[in-house]
Every structure is written in C-alpha cells, then in structure tokens.
A and B are shown apart, each in its own frame.
Chain A
C-alpha cells in the first residue's frame, strides 16, 4: 500500500472514499468484548426497551472507531491523525447498512505541518446523520 494522498492533491470540498459497514449484533458483541463495554442496551432487546429504546443500538464508540478507520485509510501510512471529535446525534439499530463519510473542509500549512480539516459523519440508509464529527490530519507534502 503505497502512499496515495499528498497535501497538494487535496481540494476543499473533496469527499473521502465512503466506507460501508453493516454492524450485526455479533459485531456489537465483539465490540463489547474489545472495549469491555457490557452495557446491555447493545445486546439485550428487553433491556433496551426498558431504557426507552426500540431495540438494541450500535455503540457510539464503535461508530467513532469506524470514523477513525475512514480517516486513517485515507491518510495512509505517511499521514497522521491529530485530532478527532464526534457527537452522537442519533441511534442506529443493529443489522442495517451504515455509510461512513468524510469531506475536506479546509487545508493549511502551520509551521512544517501540512494540515487538512475534515468533516466526518455516519449515515443510516435513509440518509439521516447519526454521528457528526471533525478531524484534523497532517499529510505528507510532495515538496518535503
């Protein structure tokens, strides 16, 4: 996997390649194990309903990990993820497609760093944004 993206190639408004996920209940259980988050709203339907939810929901932090994957896939081994934020706006049921998307909002040189600002988000199949975030990455420069 050679470096695919350099600072000079990036333009404002450019979209990152969309990552498509389909978090199954099995994947939620794997995440529960990996993160030691055993809160029952993520695997126990009855428990979720008692918490005023329709059914089990995808862990917010699994969505954050998906956003991290989106960004680190795009920046490649020569890029650096410097900062990432996200807000969990809506819940996502298990067993449906989720699109993980991103877009370049600005680029700037600070000191010797070539920085790019991104909007990043997750979407349900009907287009509802359920996680909204931003990221700052440093990219390699062709001039460096």
Chain B
C-alpha cells in the first residue's frame, strides 16, 4: 500500500459514490434512548395517551432523531473507526469534525416504521483553515419509509484534517 496522501484530484474520482442502502427498524427503545440522551421530555414522543389527543392521533418520532440516525446509518461498530456517511469512499485525512447539516422533513416518522436511507458523496473541496489543511466532504441522503413515502432529505458536511 502506498504511503502517499490522497489529493483533491484523487478524491474527486469518488464524488457520486453511494453507500449501500441502510435499513433501520424504528423501535420504541431507539426513541427512548434518544429522548433520554437529549433529556427531551416532550410527551408527543412517548406518551400515547397525550398524543392521542393531538392531530397526529398518536406519538410521532421526534424529527430531530435524524441527528442520531445519520450516525447509526454509518456501519462502523469497530472501536477507533470514525463514523463516516459513505464508507465506500475513502477519507483523505485521519481526523473528522462535523461541519454543517440540513434536514428537511416530510411524512412524520412513527414507531414501527422501517426506513431506508441512501447516502451519496456529492462534493469534495480542499482548503487551509485553523487546523491546517482541511478537506470538506459533502454527503446527501434521502430516507423513505416502508411505503416508499419520503421521510427526510439531508445534507451533511464533514471537515477532514
């Protein structure tokens, strides 16, 4: 294996690479672990009695759970491995910081849904920043439920240095 560091030109060949679709069963315990970790007591997420009286007719999953799901969708259970959105495309450097993200929400997510996310590397840039040489990688994802309804669309930028 070559010791040469990957360049911007090397990385541009990987733009368009798509991760294997990620399937997630949205279980009650997933939601509980999320709201416990955030300390978010909103009864719309977990209290069926309360939620029945709302226009949703039952609990919905907090849309912001996508901030957690995006990481879960990155199959990297090994210690020491950095969770990256598209494991099929390499990272040119060793360290990762989260840069920026956008989520658009469509059909509300419900417990019991089985969702599929498709994520693609859509852009790579290189620049000098406070941490020295940095690569900016942009990933886009779309998530649908078991009926094919669009749940969320997201864009995620990471800083690799």
A35→B42 contact, CB < 8 A: no
A77→B71 contact, CB < 8 A: no
Interface residue? B56 (CB, 8 A): yes
- Most A CB contacts (10 A, CB to CB) among B51, B54, B68 go to B68
Chain B contacts for A86, CB-based, 8 A: 100-101
Question: Which residue of the partner chain B has the closest CB to A69?
Answer: B40
A77→B44 contact, CB < 8 A: yes
Which residues of B (23-42) have their CB < 8 Å from a CB of A?
A: 30, 33-34, 36-40, 42
Chain B contacts for A87, CB-based, 8 A: 99-100
Chain B contacts for A83, CB-based, 8 A: 102-105
Bound complex: CA A32 to CA B95 (Å): 18
A82→B104 contact, CB < 8 A: yes
Chain B contacts for A10, CB-based, 8 A: none
Interface residue? A108 (CB, 8 A): no
Contact A35 to B102, CB < 8 A, known contacts A30-B36, A64-B64: no
Interface residue? B79 (CB, 8 A): yes
Bound complex: CA A31 to CA B64 (Å): 13
Contact A65 to B64, CB < 8 A, known contacts A36-B71, A88-B99: yes
Nearest Cβ in chain A — how far from B33, in angstroms?
4
Contact A1 to B50, CB < 8 A, known contacts A33-B33, A34-B36: yes
Tell me how many residues of B have a C-beta within 8 Å of chain A. Answer: 45
B71→A35 contact, CB < 8 A: yes
A61→B34 contact, CB < 8 A: no
Interface residue? B8 (CB, 8 A): no
Nearest Cβ in chain A — how far from B112, in angstroms?
19
- A: interface residue count bin: 35 or more
Bound complex: CA A62 to CA B66 (Å): 11
Q: Quick one: which of A51, A60, A62, A78 contacts B38, CB cutoff 8 A?
A: A62
Interface residue? A142 (CB, 8 A): no
Nearest Cβ in chain B — how far from A118, in angstroms?
14
Bound complex: CA A61 to CA B99 (Å): 10
Chain A contacts for B97, CB-based, 8 A: 60, 88
3 closest A-B pairs (Cβ-Cβ)? A68-B64, A60-B98, A35-B68
A-B contact pairs, 21 of them (CB 8 A): A27-B37, A30-B33, A33-B37, A34-B30, A34-B68, A35-B69, A35-B72, A36-B83, A39-B82, A40-B79, A52-B95, A61-B101, A62-B67, A65-B37, A69-B62, A69-B64, A72-B62, A78-B55, A81-B105, A84-B63, A86-B100
Binding site for A on B (CB under 8 A): 30, 33-34, 36-40, 42-44, 50-51, 54-56, 62-65, 67-72, 74, 76-77, 79-80, 82-83, 95-105, 131
Q: Supply 13 further A-B pairs (C-beta < 8 A) apart from A81-B105, A86-B101.
A: A30-B37, A33-B37, A38-B83, A59-B98, A65-B37, A65-B38, A65-B64, A66-B38, A69-B42, A77-B55, A81-B64, A84-B103, A88-B100
